[in-house]
Structure 1
Amino acid sequence: MSHVDPLTFKMKRSRLIGALLCLLFLFASRCDSADQCEEDPNNKGCVCVFDKKNVDLRSLGHKDGTAAFSVVGSDKATYYYNPCEKFTEKDCKDVAGCQEDGRAYRSIGTQDKATFSTADNGAVSIAYEGGNGGRNMVVNLVCKKSQNKPEFVFVGETAKNQYSFNLTSVCACPGDCTENGPSGGHSGGGGSGSHHSKASTIGIPGLVVLSLFSIGVTAYCVIGMIGMRVKYDRTGSDVIPNKVLWFDLPSLVRDGVVLTFTPYRAACNKDHIFLAPSNYSL
């Protein structure tokens, strides 16, 4: 029988445990990547859907060809915006957004080139392209359940000819507005920030994975302890199945993470002999 060096065996076990735990939490944390606000094809740039709940801006825009919002930016230019419906302001013809700097009126985006996007933290925004001279705009939707009167704020020119705005409204909250305005199904007193309430930042699928993992570990411990007590007549801490493994788990996890993500991390045995990863790779 070939002799297995204890340090080599511990490194293998540490690397395996670290890799498995990292994969578990990586999967759980990324399971919410599919949780996007999907655009309603019948209401481009106007309605998107989160888990069967609409973020619906139709009640915020004017339908008479004028802009619903105007704001003076820190650059002293005036910006006009109308959700959902195109409008005309001087030389800005049939646009979603317009910039007036005292010299000219320039389009900064059109309704037919509006696109919803969702950030990792769940924040929804609408990007409008097709403006004059490559100009475009991004409107960040900020959910605030108490904000029945929408607020349009200039954020800044984030890059050359790229303008950012915040639109704070109850209608930025999923399920709280219809085409006719606030649905009345929301409670007041909310605050701005994340546009919708997820069960957590890791998402429902991630919680399911972690819950199943926790249930499995609990069942393993309970059944194992019963078996150790009944079958082997163990008492005290000796009833813990694989006691040495569990007591070593914190250091194994630490070593596993180090060995997994540091390819050439040196490890030293009692004789100060350094082992390269190739000597203990799985």
Structure 2
Amino acid sequence: MGLFVGFIFIYLGFIFSPLRADQCVKKGPCTCEFSNGTGFDLTPTANNKFFTAQIYQSKMNGTQLELSTYYYHPCYDILPKINASKPTDTCGAPLSICRSLETLVLNGTGIYRSDGGRNDFMGTSNVSEFLPDGRSIKYMNGPSSTQVLLVCADTEDDLHIYSLLEPNAIVLSFYSRNACLKQIEPPGRSLGSTLLIVFFSCVIFYLVLGVCTKKFLMGATGLEVVPNLAFWTDLPNLIKDGWAFTISGFKLPPRASGHVTSPDPNSYDSI
């Protein structure tokens, strides 16, 4: 019986463990929700245009400038209105993130000339995931990925470049009042509360049914009306034995040398 009680405590500890961090579960390409009904929803930001962010980088001792333009559209994929006529361009289909790279070369007259640029596909809404805290959306593209940080801001929706240190793990930041934590669904009863209500309802039903059975069918009086009185009386010892068995790594105590007593100290009955 002590072994059984030990497993019960392990099960309850797993269910109610505070170490089980709540995660924002993806409900759609731009929506995730925590267990309490709060979450993030970028749906109001979606329209028929891309949000853009640009950055210049000087190369070759200033004789070249690389212009990078990032296009981002949350929630669903649309076709970017950019020139994608080159064979190497990969932004000719609906998508969520695209990058346009254009190199400006300084010629002898002191004027920068464009090389025509190229466009690189970086992700779609169908191949994306929310990070556990819900404050970032990661778009996968083969070995590469692009992460969009959701920044709560009381401003117009705006896209910024956060980090380009890792070429295969670029990080953008999307500023919006719709990037704030909000109530996604009306708050309801948590899983823990539901389990407690069910547990105590079962306990009350068990006690009422047991008392009525022993009193009216078996004629018990006093403490004898408590169902399984011997078990409840011995419960503290059973809990103690169960915890001792659990803490010992589910190992039985070593067999004592000499004459074997009855019951065997390594048997189930001895627990």
Q: 8 Å contact 1:37–1:50 — kept in the other structure?
A: no
Q: 8 Å contact 1:62–1:82 — kept in the other structure?
A: no
> CA offsets, 1:59-114, max 9 Å, x none?
435634xx425377xxxx96734223454678874551438698887636133x64
Return the letter of the residue paired with 1:68. Answer: F
Structure 1 residue 161 corresponds to structure 2 residue 146 = no
What is residue 48 of structure 2 aligned with on the other side? 63
After superposition, where does 1:1-282 map in structure 2 within 5 Å?
Answer: 13-26=1-14, 36-39=25-28, 45-46=29-30, 56-61=41-46, 63-64=48-49, 67-70=50-53, 80-84=70-74, 85-87=78-80, 93=91, 96-98=97-99, 107=120, 109-111=122-124, 114-118=126-130, 123=134, 125-130=136-141, 134-141=143-150, 144=152, 147=154, 149-150=156-157, 161-165=168-172, 167=174, 169-172=176-179, 204-220=190-206, 231-234=220-223, 242-248=231-237, 250-258=239-247, 262-263=249-250, 265-267=251-253, 279-280=267-268
> CA offsets, 1:190-231, max 9 Å, x none?
xxxxx98976xxx84453223211333355467778979x93
Q: State the aligned residue count.
A: 223
Aligned to 1:37, the other structure's residue is in SS state strand
Q: Which has the higher contact order (CA 8 A, sep 6+)?
A: 1
Aligned mates of 1:242, 1:126 — CA distance in 2: 53
Q: 8 Å contact 1:107–1:135 — kept in the other structure?
A: no
Q: 8 Å contact 1:117–1:126 — kept in the other structure?
A: yes
What is the alpha-carbon root mean square deviation over aligned residues?
5.7
- Identity of aligned pairs, percent? 14
Q: 8 Å contact 1:28–1:209 — kept in the other structure?
A: no
Aligned mates of 1:196, 1:148 — CA distance in 2: 25
* Unmatched tracts of structure 1, length 5 or more: 1-12, 40-44, 177-185, 187-194
> CA offsets, 1:14-44, max 9 Å, x none?
2212223333454677x999984333xxxxx
* Unmatched tracts of structure 2, length 5 or more: 56-66, 105-116
Q: TM-score, structure 2 length as denominator?
A: 0.51
Q: 8 Å contact 2:23–2:34 — kept in the other structure?
A: no
Aligned mates of 1:139, 1:196 — CA distance in 2: 24
Aligned to 1:209, the other structure's residue is in SS state helix
Greater Rg over alpha carbons, structure = 2
What is residue 183 of structure 1 aligned with on the other side? none
Q: TM-score, structure 1 length as denominator?
A: 0.49
Aligned mates of 1:154, 1:36 — CA distance in 2: 26
Deviation at 1:151, TM superposition (A): 6.5
Deviation at 1:280, TM superposition (A): 3.2
Aligned to 2:45, the other structure's residue is in SS state coil
